[in-house]
Structure 1
Amino acid sequence: MPRSLLPLTLPALLLVLAGCTPTVQVAAPAEPITINLNVKIKHEILVKVDREIDDMLDENSELF
């Protein structure tokens, strides 16, 4: 290696090593966390409709 490049190798090596250091950042989200409960509400509605149909079929069993 030529002697003229020798003074540049140490700063270049330090720059490369500084770029590889791990960084951990902890930050709060900008928007609040929302929980979507539509699935549960839909499930309850389907169960209620299903029960009403069962009751109707029990009352009018001669239809089928």
Structure 2
Amino acid sequence: MRFPLTLAMLLLAVGCTPTVRMEAPREPITINLNVQLDADVRVRLEEQAQEDVASNPDIF
């Protein structure tokens, strides 16, 4: 009497196991490289700041 109940519980437990799939993405991976632009803007701002401090030394 216990065997059919145990078998039914085992089959239900096996049917509920999660499935993990590994798939490649359909679209290509895009890497955006805006590093050069950011560095260029920072250098310009730093040069402008140095010029402002040199022209107005009593600001700070």
Please, what TM-score do these two structures have when normalized by structure 2? Answer: 0.49
